[in-house]
């Protein structure tokens, strides 16, 4: 059975620093007498299963390996159905989730006897479900409050929408025009695939409009 530790770092948007908690995870692993074997970092929503780096980690990991995160909400802000699907994948791989905000998971960093391991796994699974449910509620509450705020701002004529990083979008557009792949653009500009797809969609709409006007 393997016993490697993989660090997973996630932020929801390109403007957030997904690597923010890296040093904290390193310090925690060292306090447990462990070294982190690899890092998986991405800017994707925790409410979606579309997280390529998380699934690349799970594809590489073997039974007994640990997935180390700062908080459970880095793994999941998923709805109940999607959380069950992700849990099933994690369980099938035999990977253990260790979160700094979940003390019951810390002992999973070191292998023990079979009875102790099974007891810890059962306890950790229950606590994970609880924290995942709390993370989902926090996500839906914030979304609801945000929607209410936007509705009110629109009614009062104050809503301007989220500002666009025009410089980044221009760089992405040039890269797409040059035939770069999404992966290459991600690596070069540290942006998400969602942002690249948005730029590509806007460019496509603009091109169709020009064709319709006979400009192309």
DSSP string for the chain: ----EEEEEEESSTTS-TTTTHHHHHHHHHHTT--EEEEEEEE--TT-S--HHHHHHHHH--TT-EEEESSGGGT----HHHHHHHHHHHHHHT-EEEETT-GGGGGGGS---HHHHHHHHHHHHHHHHHHHHHHHHHHHHHHHHHHHHHHHHHHTT----PPP-HHHHHHHHHHHHTT--HHHHHHHH---HHHHHHHHHHHHHHHHHHHHTT--
- Quick one: tokens of 151? 């509705």
**Residue among 2, 12, 31, 117 flagged as catalytic:** 12
12 part of the active site: yes
Q: Could you give the residue numbers annotated as active site?
A: 12
């Amino acid at each position: 059975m393997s016993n490697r530790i993989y660090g997973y770092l996630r932020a929801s948007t390109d403007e957030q620093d997904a690597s923010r908690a890296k040093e904290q995870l390193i310090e925690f692993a060292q306090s447990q007498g462990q070294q982190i074997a690899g890092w998986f970092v991405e800017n994707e929503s925790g409410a979606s299963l579309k997280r390529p780096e998380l699934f690349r980690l799970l594809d590489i990991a073997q039974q007994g390996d640990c997935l180390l995160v700062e908080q459970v909400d880095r793994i999941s802000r998923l709805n109940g159905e999607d959380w069950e699907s992700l849990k099933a994948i994690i369980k099938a791989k035999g990977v253990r989730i260790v979160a700094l905000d979940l003390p019951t998971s810390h002992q999973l960093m070191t292998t023990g006897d079979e009875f102790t391991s099974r007891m810890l796994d059962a306890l950790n699974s229950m606590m994970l479900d609880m924290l995942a449910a709390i993370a989902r509620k926090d996500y839906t509450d914030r979304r609801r409050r945000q929607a209410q705020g936007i509705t009110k701002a629109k009614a009062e004529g104050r809503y301007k929408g989220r500002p666009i990083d025009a410089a980044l979008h221009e760089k992405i557009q040039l890269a797409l025009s040059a035939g770069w792949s999404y992966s290459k653009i991600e690596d070069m500009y540290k942006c998400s695939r969602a942002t690249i797809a948005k730029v590509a969609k806007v460019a496509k709409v603009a091109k169709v409009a020009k064709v319709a006007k006979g400009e192309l």
